[in-house]
Structure 1
Amino acid sequence: MRVFDLAFDYLLDTTPPGKDPDSHSRRLKADHQLLWTKELCEGQLFELVVSEDPKVRRKNYLIFEQTPDKWFTFGSDAITNSYTRWGRPKALVEAKAALSDEQKRRYFNPPYTIGSGMIWPVRTVHLPTLNTARGMRIRIADRMDLSLECIRRHYANEPGGPLADVITNYGDFFELFGTFEKFVEFFHFQDLVTPEGKIDFFLEEDEDEVFERPGVPVTKDEYIKVREASLKFIALRGNRMADWVEENHPDIKVRRQ
């Protein structure tokens, strides 16, 4: 029987060992196919398949064929970050250094579990991708809460923030889900959104100062808040995924943390 395991670490499932799970973990790819192959808002099946077409930018990417003439290529992305290997800004380095040994063990080098897994569309004519831009643009700093605020603004036709150009380039992907609420539900992001439809930011002050400062935590207290919020989000999202698998794939055994 196939097992969907919330605690499985995809870092342990790469061929060859030590490679990036987003590119080299077969189990992560299979779990992406399992989770995201479901109906879109208009009833069309969002069916992800492994492409063997040599014309695709990288063989074995996940593909969704919307029509015979329109298809999407997807790559995998870990949407949370521990900043363990970030060597700047200086304030972040100092914040990490101020942590206790116990805190470092909790926050540094976490496992890559499914609650942190996401897919984004990839096109060579539209670079950077969302995956790349989220990590490289300092006012996002790889934070999913800030990324989701940019996506919310896109759907609401509001000024889009640091990812506006990239999201616009991939606007046809976001159109697949119709509304921000449907996008959030499809990818199990409900725990990053308040009942009023606002983003539940990892740092409290972000609601008033969003995008006016770098997204990266710059004090010890900020680092702890961001990491605790990230870990909570991963756990909650993973359980939403497990609930969905149990409801829609009773033949698959779900192993929770």
Structure 2
Amino acid sequence: SEIDITFDFRSDTPGYYTSNTDPDALSPTLRRYHKCLWSKPLPSGDFFELVDTTPGVYLHHRSHLGEFRLTSDTVIPSFRKEARIAPFIAQEPDELAKFNALGYTIGGMMLFPGNGIGNKMTINGSRGCHGKIKDRFDLTVECIRRHYRGDQSPLSDVLDRYADFFDLFGDFHGYVEFFLLQDLLTEDRNTVRFMAPFEDFRTSPLPASFEAYSTYRKRATEFIEARNRRILHFALGTAANTPQVGVVRRNDNETAEEQ
């Protein structure tokens, strides 16, 4: 089915503009896009079919690989509810509206396991609540990279709880390529392109100045736009023509120097 990379999932979420309901749960277009994009072969060759007909489950997979109950997560925060960030946003209020609209396109969306294990937090909940992550997607992906290496991170416990999900993708590169996250990595594919200076989780994930927030928003915008293009290429069946990691074609006449 057709994927519109400009579609704002708030627009078909019942009650969003009156009672602030959640597009991750209630946008029918978002659910359809997730089902369409991520029902595909895993690195192992096994087909990862997602169904939306299991009562009470957003998207469901059950096979010899195991059972997975997945939910959507809007992964690029604007931090508009953070008191520390509000003064920065107030300096450029029009930019917030643009950033939020882009953040609610498919390039700003992910699937994670949504079933609780042992009355503990899910990945979505943990990455939102952890003071070292604060919903930052680049920091989340760095934690996932470390999970695959067997290294510690602020999200080690929760990622370990859902190890069976991450095992589906074989390794970090398999995970990145499955969910079309290549544009969040450097050209060598081994390092996360952080949206703000990274000091090994020792500092606050919140941008500390107007300049830092502007840089964060710019890098986050570039990532969502690049991932949207990658998703469109994939959806059109032209994944082979997708630009190399970290290389974004500005227009049809401009080609990457190094492929």
Q: TM-score, normalised by structure 2?
A: 0.84
Aligned length: 234
Partner SS for 2:45? coil
Contact 1:82 1:109 in 2 (8 A): no
The match for 2:45 is 43
TM-aligned CA distance change 1:169 to 1:109, over 3 Å:
same
Partner SS for 2:155? helix
TM-aligned CA distance change 1:111 to 1:163, over 3 Å:
closer
The structure showing larger relative contact order (alpha-carbon pairs under 8 Å, at least 6 residues apart) is: 1
Q: Distance in 2 between matches of 1:10 and 1:231?
A: 17
Q: Distance in 1 between matches of 2:230 and 2:101?
A: 24
The match for 1:230 is 220
Instruction: Choose the corresponding residue for 1:173, options 165, 169, 172.
Output: 165
Instruction: Choose the corresponding residue for 2:185, options 161, 186, 193.
Output: 193
2:130 matches 1:140:
no
TM-aligned CA distance change 1:106 to 1:123, over 3 Å:
closer
TM-aligned CA distance change 1:28 to 1:106, over 3 Å:
closer
Alpha-carbon RMSD across the aligned residues, in angstroms, is: 2.0
2:74 matches 1:78:
yes
The match for 1:28 is 30
Q: Distance in 2 between matches of 1:238 and 1:219?
A: 28
Query: How far is 1:15 from its partner?
Result: 2.7
| Structure 2 residues without counterparts, runs of 5 or longer | 240-259
Query: How far is 1:193 from its partner?
Result: 0.9
Q: Which amino acid aligns with 2:37?
A: L
Query: How far is 1:109 from its partner?
Result: 6.1
Q: TM-score, normalised by structure 1?
A: 0.84
The match for 1:252 is none
TM-aligned CA distance change 1:111 to 1:184, over 3 Å:
closer
Query: How far is 1:133 from its partner?
Result: 1.2
TM-aligned CA distance change 1:237 to 1:110, over 3 Å:
closer
Q: Distance in 2 between matches of 1:145 and 1:50?
A: 28
The match for 1:245 is 235
Q: Which amino acid aligns with 1:216?
A: L
Q: Distance in 1 between matches of 2:216 and 2:44?
A: 36
For each residue in 1:222-248, what CA deviation from the matched residue of structure 2 results, as whole angstroms up to 9, or x when unmatched? Answer: 111111111111110011111111117
Partner SS for 2:160? helix
Partner SS for 2:69? strand
Identity %: 34
The match for 1:66 is 63
For each residue in 1:7-28, what CA deviation from the matched residue of structure 2 results, as whole angstroms up to 9, or x when unmatched? Answer: 0010011134442111111110
For each residue in 1:117-138, what CA deviation from the matched residue of structure 2 results, as whole angstroms up to 9, or x when unmatched? Answer: 1100022225211111111112
Q: Distance in 1 between matches of 2:111 and 2:100?
A: 24
Q: Distance in 2 between matches of 1:184 and 1:111?
A: 19
For each residue in 1:10-63, what CA deviation from the matched residue of structure 2 results, as whole angstroms up to 9, or x when unmatched? Answer: 00111344421111111100000010000011111110001434xxxxx14210
Q: Which amino acid aligns with 2:9?
A: Y
Equivalent runs, 1:127-166 vs 2, <5 Å: 127-159=120-152, 161-166=153-158
Instruction: Choose the corresponding residue for 1:95, options 64, 88, 92.
Output: 88
